Structure 1
Amino acid sequence: MPVGPSTDGFFRIAASTPRIRVADVDANAAAILSCVRHAAAQGAGALVLPELCLTGYTCADLFFDRALLRAAEAALARILDATADVPMFFTVGLPVAAGSALYNCTAACCRGELLGLTAKESLPNYGEFYERRWFAPAPRPEDPLTVEVAGRLAPLASRIVYRCADEGMADLALGVEVCEDLWIAAPPSVDMARAGATVILNSSASSEVIGKAEYRRSLVAGQSARLFCAYAYADAGEGESTTDLVFAGENLIAENGSLLAGTPLFSCEMAIADVDLDRLAAERRRCTTWVEPAASEAGVLDVGFSFSLDADICSAADAEPPAIPGAPRLMYSALDTLRIFPRTPFVPAAREDIAERCETIFGLQAAGLKTRLAHTGTKHAVIGLSGGLDSTLALLVTVRAFDALDLPRAGITAVSMPGFGTTRRTKGNAETLAEALGVSFREVPIGPAVERHFADIGHDPAVQDVTYENSQARERTQILMDIANQVGGFVIGTGDLSELALGWATYNGDHMSMYGVNASVPKTLVRHLVRCAADAFGGQIAQTLLDILDTPVSPELLPPTGAGEIAQRTEDLVGPYELHDFFLYHLLRFGFAPGKIYRMACRAFSGVYDSETVRSWLRVFYRRFFAQQFKRSCLPDGPKVGSVTLSPRGDWRMPSDAAMRLWLAEIDAL
């Protein structure tokens, strides 16, 4: 597996709690080596172990004993010698004497090298913790000590950033902080992340009391969110003294606000997860308030390191396993990562979360429309109601906005405009829904007007081409706009985010409205919104909404089948919306390249679509996304409800004439 771009930027990290014995340095060194070997065998590139794990955190006044200090240094030397063949960055906690001071240190190790000693800055001296009795605060990074430990010279300071120099791993930089340093008002990890650290490792010994676990998890997740980083936390556990405290050994790995992995309390287990360095880098680049000063300005100490990978270790996806024990790939592709990629990234996984998300989205959509109606003094709205999903959602949102303004629902005019492809099913559902919701309903058949238009422009109705289809869409928009003028109202747009991405809209037809309430809602989420509305309404409305959900997505611009069924299915023409929404999310949200999105989709939709199907529709997506930008460059206003939108005024600014060659070439090379 190459270390370059085709690895997709996934880096595996682990957090583990070895079973130790207080002050039994030799036994602890063996337990640490076991953890290192196990993590390496799992393909981890970084491992964090608990605070002072080489001696035990609860040694108390034994930390002053020279025998313990000498034993810890000798044990660290043995660990380094024993791991010279392991290309993994790992930490070992131990006390280090330097001059007249003693420091609580976390040693950063890689392939037999001692890269540095990150000393603890914030020494608690409250409750059962009396660290200031034994340890001195860390030297500042601008004035580090150079110490000889385990027969090796290394810098000793706080806020050390370890930057990987290996090819293809430029986004990997690790910072280490020690336990309490996370809990203070301005943790060292802030400066380290601002200086470029994408992975923060915390060596901790956090005693367990009621309620602390929940707070710890929120703290770790929150720090990873505000720093756009991966955060791995290793906690002391079994083997520490229980004279006054109990240590639960909870290990956590978070990325950008989400907990990726964790271990149960009161266990000595390993948490392991793949973090997405590409994603973290993308998040930082997108955030205009994220500023990375030079390392010297950020107040950190820079240390470079290398995994010293042999060229043949990661040369090909089918390469033989390397000779080095536990040294497989250090960077992973989406095809072999531990990560799970949800098929519908716009939709929460848990059902209760879906209901909450839908309620929030309905509220945002309705609030946007309510504000626009109130600002303009408009008391009427006009919607083209087709009996399909999007227009149904737009009507539901409009009803909610009118209710919030205490406006009569009769001020909403739902217009059915049957054309050459309209089926009895969709027409009937539109009329039934309008009646059940108590809105005004009008039916304006467009057939005669479109046929007259064909005669005017000299188009043969037997030629069912784009002119045949788009003439109907534009006629419908004209009708809606004119009725809006009649009643003094707004035309409410029905098109959704997925259609905008694909350009699946008739320019100056359904593409145009006076306020597009669905503009930032993708098709996969529209379904859930309508289903949640069905659950909320019940009765006849629910029955109609469920039948609409069961109706194939179609513009109904071509005549029905002989049996009166829908003949034109959108997903047969442009591809499955679940795939396109997956592509869209990862393109817009993180700026991932086509190759990475392809491999993620192959993994996510394994057993649903084969790789060639995924590649084929990915090419369609990119081709349409680039070619149809001109339609998005002049969109009506609409409310933003999520982090991914295509508004040309804020979230997505793209030239209408951008060339697509680079992206299609990458897809063709897959």
Structure 2
Amino acid sequence: MGRKITLATCSLNQWALDFDGNLARILESIEIAKSKGAKYRLGPELEICGYGCADHFYESDTLLHCFQVLKELLESPVTQDIICDVGMPIMHHSVRYNCRVIFLNKAREVEEYFLPRMLQDVTGQETVPFGDGVLSTKDTCIGSEICVELWKPRSPHVDMGLDGVEIFTNSSASYHQLRKADLRVSLVRSATAKSGGIYLFANQRGCDGDRLYYDGCAMIAINGDIVAQGKQFTLDDVDVVTATLDLEDVRSYRGERCHPHVESEHKPYHRVKVSFSLSDSQDIFLPPHDPIEWQLHTAEEEIRLGPACWLWDYLRRSGQAGFLLPLSGGVDSSSTACIVFSMCHLVCEAVRAGNTQVLADVRQVVSDVSYTPEDPRELCGRLFTTCYMASENSSQDTCSRARQLAEQIGSTHINLNIDLAVKGMLGVFSMVTGKLPQFRANGGSTRENLALQNVQARIRMVLAYLFAQLSLWANGKAGGLLVLGSANVDESLTGYFTKYDCSSADINPIGGISKTDLKSFLQHCVDRFQLTALSSVMAAPPTAELEPLCNGQVCQTDESDMGMTYSELSVIGRLRKISKCGPYSMFCKLIHMWRDNLSLSEVANKVKRFFRMYSVNRHKMTTVTPAYHAENYSPDDNRFDLRPILYNTRTGPGSSGASIARLPKWSLKIPLILKVAVTELLRPLDL
């Protein structure tokens, strides 16, 4: 045996999900390594799918296409007579692994932690236990789990319960999401229903400076029943929940149901003994709390309350004097206006209830130390400015709807026309180039038509910030206004908005809410606040009003531009993010979900259209307004949608007999798979 070996490692400029290009670069690197006599070749991490695949790592399509590339590598003559070390994700026992990364978790180990001197002086101790232990008092045993551990399949409370722990605590930072509270309550109930015990759940509340709103919901449960419930949405900074419970109820419950000696072996927890009792000899006279029914909010109530509380926290901590909203008279901007109006209701209710902190905050916001808000409409007039920005493409209907809603909620309303500013911008362009673009309706090209729409939208953004900064100054008042955006989650998902248009704002309370939920929310506001102007808003087709009118009527509609309805977009968004579907997986699901309304080819075209829109517009997510998080299919790239912003959307050479256009080139095999699947399914149905 020889002692000398030749090894190869490499750096590859791989592209996330560019399976064709990644395969070619891997093969080239192997070929070069062999030409230099190497017998071992090491490639970069996740080189087959690309390291930047991020959330695509969780999609089954990604795993499928990685194996397809691996198959071609194995079959290629280039890979013969050399050890090839390639990187790709693998699923094993329903868990996805990056095989070059190892995480080590030490389970239930307790170590000595040396205290800082300042604490040694106070406690008289040099060290304290650090790790996974439980607290043993004279009368019971208490164990803790942290936030997400409650949601895990093997939560610590399971083993702690088998080890005799009677009280479980969870200090959480669980953020609000539509329809999430029910699941949270179910998990707390389940934690004590199987083997008994008491569960105390504490949670953060409010906006901590980001897109999330932490919605409270502190609770206490015993043996599967909730006995105390805290508030979910409130402007109170402190909300304390208490309950009196009988430890003997836990022991009796466990005596019948829990038999640790027949359970699988478990390692006992380290016990930190404390000479202290939670109980008292006189507590026999204290009545224990009875089970209660948890009062859940509807989704419409959650939209009315959650974003409103988030807006109030953001406003009072920002140092600004209120909000400005470009109000178009459509569902989205009207929903945002209603949320601000709901915020004003919450502020007035809190002040009436004696909340001195809210009173102090609202006085600071309006710069009036003697002010006491009593009427939400009057407060709305102080804090909220709405602005309808008309153009020659705007209809009287939208103008009227915006004005009527502003009157009903009490906002300070501004009507202005942007045509002069648009013509000025186009005049500059024409002076430089000698050309003047035209709308498609007037004989212009698609590029001209799109540019003319975009300049209107961007002018509105510029004017919104101008009025936000100076409108209070013009009226002799102090402070500036925060600009509110009003793009819903479905529009953001497809990129159906102009980059840096009036959707570009300081914050957006509806950016994580679907159009479908917003329509239901508006009906809720009609019933709750008697805002009758919303009825005509809900009845009107969504439109950007950026193209010329036809005989005074709107011709352009959002759903026509996007090629799909908002309800369809909601389904697609959930499949893409929550179900982790790529194009092929989504097509396979939708042909069954939509079989009563759409043909196979129509489903295929919608899937291809969506993924192309998503791909070519993904760059817009880098500038999307920070939005209140309300749905777990939000496309906000800051935290909830970790996908690339630059995709390979070029189409490759078509194959013979192709009757359906190729999808964006997300992967090596998707276009062929989808084409074959649709073609084969179409034939027997004779469509």
More strand by share: 1
TM-score under structure 2 normalisation? 0.46
More helix by share: 2
